[in-house]
Protein backbone atom coordinates (compact mmCIF):
# COMPACT_ATOMS: atom_id res chain seq x y z
CA UNK A 1 0.00 0.00 0.00
CA UNK A 2 1.13 3.53 -0.73
CA UNK A 3 1.73 5.86 2.20
CA UNK A 4 -0.42 8.50 0.53
CA UNK A 5 -3.51 7.53 -1.43
CA UNK A 6 -4.07 9.43 -4.68
CA UNK A 7 -7.20 9.76 -6.76
CA UNK A 8 -7.23 9.22 -10.54
CA UNK A 9 -10.01 9.49 -13.11
CA UNK A 10 -9.86 7.75 -16.49
CA UNK A 11 -12.14 9.24 -19.16
CA UNK A 12 -12.91 7.35 -22.38
CA UNK A 13 -15.73 7.42 -24.94
CA UNK A 14 -16.56 3.69 -25.16
CA UNK A 15 -16.76 0.46 -23.21
CA UNK A 16 -13.52 -1.52 -23.65
CA UNK A 17 -11.35 1.59 -24.23
CA UNK A 18 -9.97 1.10 -20.73
CA UNK A 19 -9.26 -2.59 -21.34
CA UNK A 20 -7.69 -2.10 -24.76
CA UNK A 21 -5.74 0.63 -22.97
CA UNK A 22 -4.16 0.89 -19.51
CA UNK A 23 -6.25 -1.63 -17.55
CA UNK A 24 -3.10 -3.19 -16.08
CA UNK A 25 -2.05 0.20 -14.69
CA UNK A 26 -5.53 0.81 -13.30
CA UNK A 27 -5.39 -2.52 -11.47
CA UNK A 28 -1.85 -1.81 -10.24
CA UNK A 29 -2.97 1.55 -8.85
CA UNK A 30 -5.86 -0.07 -6.99
CA UNK A 31 -3.56 -2.71 -5.53
CA UNK A 32 -1.30 0.11 -4.34
CA UNK A 33 -4.22 1.66 -2.46
CA UNK A 34 -5.12 4.52 -4.79
CA UNK A 35 -8.67 5.50 -5.73
CA UNK A 36 -9.33 4.70 -9.39
CA UNK A 37 -12.43 5.98 -11.18
CA UNK A 38 -13.66 5.41 -14.73
CA UNK A 39 -15.98 7.68 -16.73
CA UNK A 40 -17.24 6.29 -20.04
CA UNK A 41 -19.15 8.76 -22.20
CA UNK A 42 -21.23 6.30 -24.26
CA UNK A 43 -22.58 2.77 -23.92
CA UNK A 44 -20.99 1.83 -27.24
CA UNK A 45 -24.26 0.55 -28.70
CA UNK A 46 -23.65 1.72 -32.26
CA UNK A 47 -20.96 -0.89 -32.90
CA UNK A 48 -21.55 -3.10 -35.95
CA UNK A 49 -21.14 -6.12 -33.68
CA UNK A 50 -24.76 -5.62 -32.62
CA UNK A 51 -25.93 -6.86 -36.02
CA UNK A 52 -24.47 -10.28 -35.29
CA UNK A 53 -26.68 -10.55 -32.22
CA UNK A 54 -29.71 -8.82 -33.72
CA UNK A 55 -29.58 -6.07 -31.10
CA UNK A 56 -30.80 -2.51 -31.48
CA UNK A 57 -28.37 0.26 -30.56
CA UNK A 58 -30.11 0.60 -27.20
CA UNK A 59 -30.02 -3.15 -26.51
CA UNK A 60 -26.37 -3.44 -27.47
CA UNK A 61 -25.56 -0.48 -25.24
CA UNK A 62 -27.21 -2.13 -22.26
CA UNK A 63 -25.34 -5.39 -22.89
CA UNK A 64 -21.98 -3.61 -23.15
CA UNK A 65 -22.68 -1.58 -20.02
CA UNK A 66 -23.31 -4.82 -18.12
CA UNK A 67 -20.02 -6.16 -19.46
CA UNK A 68 -18.39 -3.04 -18.04
CA UNK A 69 -19.72 -3.83 -14.57
CA UNK A 70 -17.83 -7.12 -14.77
CA UNK A 71 -14.71 -5.19 -15.81
CA UNK A 72 -15.16 -2.92 -12.82
CA UNK A 73 -15.13 -5.95 -10.51
CA UNK A 74 -12.02 -7.43 -12.16
CA UNK A 75 -10.08 -4.17 -11.91
CA UNK A 76 -11.54 -3.43 -8.45
CA UNK A 77 -12.41 0.12 -9.50
CA UNK A 78 -13.34 2.59 -6.77
CA UNK A 79 -16.15 3.94 -8.92
CA UNK A 80 -17.47 3.85 -12.48
CA UNK A 81 -19.93 6.03 -14.39
CA UNK A 82 -21.31 5.05 -17.80
CA UNK A 83 -23.14 7.79 -19.69
CA UNK A 84 -25.45 7.42 -22.68
CA UNK A 85 -24.14 10.05 -25.07
CA UNK A 86 -24.43 9.14 -28.78
CA UNK A 87 -21.91 6.48 -29.72
CA UNK A 88 -20.09 7.49 -32.93
CA UNK A 89 -21.92 10.80 -32.67
CA UNK A 90 -19.90 12.93 -30.25
CA UNK A 91 -18.69 15.07 -33.14
CA UNK A 92 -22.28 16.17 -33.76
CA UNK A 93 -22.78 17.38 -30.20
CA UNK A 94 -22.13 20.86 -28.88
CA UNK A 95 -18.71 20.28 -27.23
CA UNK A 96 -19.73 22.63 -24.43
CA UNK A 97 -22.44 20.14 -23.43
CA UNK A 98 -19.90 17.31 -23.18
CA UNK A 99 -17.50 19.57 -21.30
CA UNK A 100 -20.14 20.44 -18.73
CA UNK A 101 -20.89 16.77 -18.08
CA UNK A 102 -17.20 15.96 -17.66
CA UNK A 103 -16.64 19.00 -15.45
CA UNK A 104 -19.38 17.89 -13.04
CA UNK A 105 -17.80 14.44 -12.73
CA UNK A 106 -14.36 15.93 -12.07
CA UNK A 107 -15.67 18.36 -9.45
CA UNK A 108 -17.50 15.50 -7.73
CA UNK A 109 -14.46 13.16 -7.67
CA UNK A 110 -11.68 15.77 -7.29
CA UNK A 111 -8.99 13.61 -8.92
CA UNK A 112 -5.30 14.39 -8.64
CA UNK A 113 -4.76 13.03 -12.16
CA UNK A 114 -6.96 12.61 -15.25
CA UNK A 115 -6.17 10.16 -18.05
CA UNK A 116 -7.69 10.11 -21.52
CA UNK A 117 -6.74 9.61 -25.17
CA UNK A 118 -3.86 11.51 -26.82
CA UNK A 119 -4.46 13.96 -29.64
CA UNK A 120 -4.17 11.21 -32.27
CA UNK A 121 -6.66 8.97 -30.46
CA UNK A 122 -4.49 5.87 -31.11
CA UNK A 123 -7.07 4.41 -33.49
CA UNK A 124 -7.90 7.81 -34.96
CA UNK A 125 -11.62 7.22 -34.30
CA UNK A 126 -13.53 10.51 -34.14
CA UNK A 127 -15.06 9.86 -30.73
CA UNK A 128 -11.53 9.44 -29.38
CA UNK A 129 -10.45 12.76 -30.87
CA UNK A 130 -13.47 14.61 -29.50
CA UNK A 131 -12.88 13.13 -26.05
CA UNK A 132 -9.27 14.31 -26.08
CA UNK A 133 -10.31 17.85 -27.00
CA UNK A 134 -13.11 18.26 -24.48
CA UNK A 135 -11.16 16.74 -21.59
CA UNK A 136 -8.20 19.01 -22.32
CA UNK A 137 -10.49 22.05 -22.39
CA UNK A 138 -12.06 21.17 -19.03
CA UNK A 139 -8.65 20.45 -17.49
CA UNK A 140 -7.42 23.91 -18.48
CA UNK A 141 -10.53 25.62 -17.16
CA UNK A 142 -10.38 23.91 -13.79
CA UNK A 143 -6.62 24.39 -13.54
CA UNK A 144 -7.05 28.13 -13.97
CA UNK A 145 -9.42 28.11 -11.00
CA UNK A 146 -6.85 26.17 -8.93
CA UNK A 147 -9.23 23.24 -8.54
CA UNK A 148 -8.46 19.61 -9.16
CA UNK A 149 -6.88 17.96 -11.13
CA UNK A 150 -3.11 18.52 -10.97
CA UNK A 151 -2.07 16.52 -14.02
CA UNK A 152 -3.53 15.47 -17.40
CA UNK A 153 -2.10 12.30 -18.90
CA UNK A 154 -2.67 10.62 -22.25
CA UNK A 155 -2.43 6.85 -22.57
CA UNK A 156 -0.49 5.99 -25.70
CA UNK A 157 1.55 3.39 -27.59
CA UNK A 158 4.98 3.38 -29.18
CA UNK A 159 5.76 2.93 -32.86
CA UNK A 160 6.95 -0.60 -32.15
CA UNK A 161 3.60 -1.56 -30.64
CA UNK A 162 1.55 0.24 -33.31
CA UNK A 163 3.29 -1.61 -36.12
CA UNK A 164 2.22 -4.94 -34.65
CA UNK A 165 -1.50 -4.11 -34.84
CA UNK A 166 -3.44 -6.65 -36.91
CA UNK A 167 -6.85 -4.97 -37.12
CA UNK A 168 -6.32 -1.32 -38.07
CA UNK A 169 -3.30 0.98 -38.39
CA UNK A 170 -2.59 2.58 -35.04
CA UNK A 171 -1.29 6.06 -34.32
CA UNK A 172 1.57 6.34 -31.87
CA UNK A 173 3.61 8.81 -29.86
CA UNK A 174 7.24 9.49 -30.62
CA UNK A 175 9.70 8.45 -27.93
CA UNK A 176 10.49 12.08 -27.09
CA UNK A 177 6.77 12.70 -26.42
CA UNK A 178 6.51 9.97 -23.79
CA UNK A 179 6.86 11.35 -20.26
CA UNK A 180 5.82 8.40 -18.10
CA UNK A 181 6.64 4.70 -18.46
CA UNK A 182 4.98 2.34 -15.99
CA UNK A 183 6.09 -1.23 -15.44
CA UNK A 184 3.40 -3.66 -14.32
CA UNK A 185 3.69 -7.17 -12.92
CA UNK A 186 2.39 -10.35 -14.53
CA UNK A 187 -0.53 -10.28 -12.07
CA UNK A 188 -1.49 -6.79 -13.24
CA UNK A 189 -1.23 -7.91 -16.86
CA UNK A 190 -3.38 -10.95 -16.14
CA UNK A 191 -6.11 -8.71 -14.70
CA UNK A 192 -6.06 -6.63 -17.91
CA UNK A 193 -6.52 -9.78 -20.01
CA UNK A 194 -9.41 -10.88 -17.79
CA UNK A 195 -10.97 -7.44 -18.25
CA UNK A 196 -10.84 -7.88 -22.02
CA UNK A 197 -12.50 -11.27 -21.67
CA UNK A 198 -15.48 -9.60 -19.97
CA UNK A 199 -16.47 -8.17 -23.35
CA UNK A 200 -18.11 -11.32 -24.68
CA UNK A 201 -19.90 -9.44 -27.47
CA UNK A 202 -16.52 -8.18 -28.69
CA UNK A 203 -14.74 -11.52 -28.53
CA UNK A 204 -14.11 -11.74 -32.30
CA UNK A 205 -12.86 -8.15 -32.49
CA UNK A 206 -10.53 -8.72 -29.56
CA UNK A 207 -9.15 -11.90 -31.08
CA UNK A 208 -8.75 -10.41 -34.56
CA UNK A 209 -7.04 -7.32 -33.21
CA UNK A 210 -4.30 -9.32 -31.53
CA UNK A 211 -4.54 -6.91 -28.60
CA UNK A 212 -3.71 -9.59 -26.03
CA UNK A 213 -0.37 -10.16 -27.75
CA UNK A 214 0.26 -6.40 -27.92
CA UNK A 215 -0.10 -6.04 -24.17
CA UNK A 216 3.20 -6.10 -22.31
CA UNK A 217 4.48 -5.28 -18.85
CA UNK A 218 5.11 -1.69 -19.95
CA UNK A 219 2.55 1.09 -20.44
CA UNK A 220 3.27 4.53 -21.89
CA UNK A 221 1.82 7.98 -21.24
CA UNK A 222 2.23 11.53 -22.46
CA UNK A 223 1.84 14.28 -19.85
CA UNK A 224 0.18 17.51 -20.94
CA UNK A 225 2.43 20.57 -20.60
CA UNK A 226 5.04 18.54 -18.70
CA UNK A 227 8.32 17.11 -19.97
CA UNK A 228 10.30 14.43 -18.20
CA UNK A 229 13.56 13.04 -19.58
CA UNK A 230 14.07 10.34 -18.53
CA UNK A 231 10.36 9.51 -18.13
CA UNK A 232 8.93 9.24 -14.64
CA UNK A 233 7.76 5.80 -13.49
CA UNK A 234 4.42 6.65 -11.90
CA UNK A 235 1.52 8.96 -12.81
CA UNK A 236 1.64 10.41 -9.29
CA UNK A 237 5.37 11.08 -9.32
CA UNK A 238 6.51 14.74 -9.26
CA UNK A 239 2.95 16.05 -9.35
CA UNK A 240 2.63 19.81 -9.90
CA UNK A 241 1.49 21.75 -6.85
CA UNK A 242 -2.26 22.22 -6.56
**Residue 212 reports pLDDT greater than 80:** yes
CB 179 within 8 A of CB 222: yes
Taking residue 222's Cβ as centre, other Cβ atoms within 10 Å add up to 20
Among candidate residues 23, 22, 28, the one with its CA nearest the CA of residue 6:
28
Instruction: Label residue 192 by pLDDT band (50, 70, 90).
Output: very high
Architecture of the domain made up of 7-223: 3-Layer(aba) Sandwich (3.40)
Give the span between the Cα atoms of 44 and 19, in whole angstroms: 14
| Domain extent listing, the chain | 7-223
Strand segments (E) across the chain: 7-12, 35-40, 79-82, 113-116, 151-156, 180-183, 218-223
What integer is the mean pLDDT of 232-240?
Answer: 97
Say what the pLDDT of residue 3 is.
Answer: 58
What integer is the mean pLDDT of 199-222?
Answer: 94
Helices (H), 90-224: 95-109, 126-144, 159-162, 186-197, 203-209, 211-214
- Give pTM, 2 decimals: 0.96
CB 224 within 8 A of CB 239: no
The percent of residues in the chain predicted with pLDDT above 90, rounded, is: 91
Instruction: Label residue 144 by pLDDT band (50, 70, 90).
Output: confident
Taking residue 66's Cβ as centre, other Cβ atoms within 10 Å add up to 15
What integer is the mean pLDDT of 173-196?
Answer: 98
Q: Tell me: the pLDDT tens digits for 56-84?
A: 999 999 999 999 999 999 999 999 999 99
Q: Tell me: the pLDDT tens digits for 11-39?
A: 999 999 999 999 999 999 999 999 999 99
Give the span between the Cα atoms of 195 and 152, in whole angstroms: 24
Mean pLDDT of the chain: 95
Sign of torsion over alpha carbons 202, 208, 20, 105: negative
Give the span between the Cα atoms of 92 and 48, in whole angstroms: 19
Say what the pLDDT of residue 241 is.
Answer: 81
What integer is the mean pLDDT of 121-132?
Answer: 97
Amino acid sequence: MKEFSMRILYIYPHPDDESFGPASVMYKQRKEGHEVYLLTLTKGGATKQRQKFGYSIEEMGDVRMNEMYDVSKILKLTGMTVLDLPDSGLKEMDPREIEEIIKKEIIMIEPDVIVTYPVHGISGFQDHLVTHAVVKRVFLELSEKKWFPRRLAFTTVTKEIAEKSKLIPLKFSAINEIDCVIEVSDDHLEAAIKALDCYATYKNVIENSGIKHLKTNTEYFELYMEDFKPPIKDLFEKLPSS
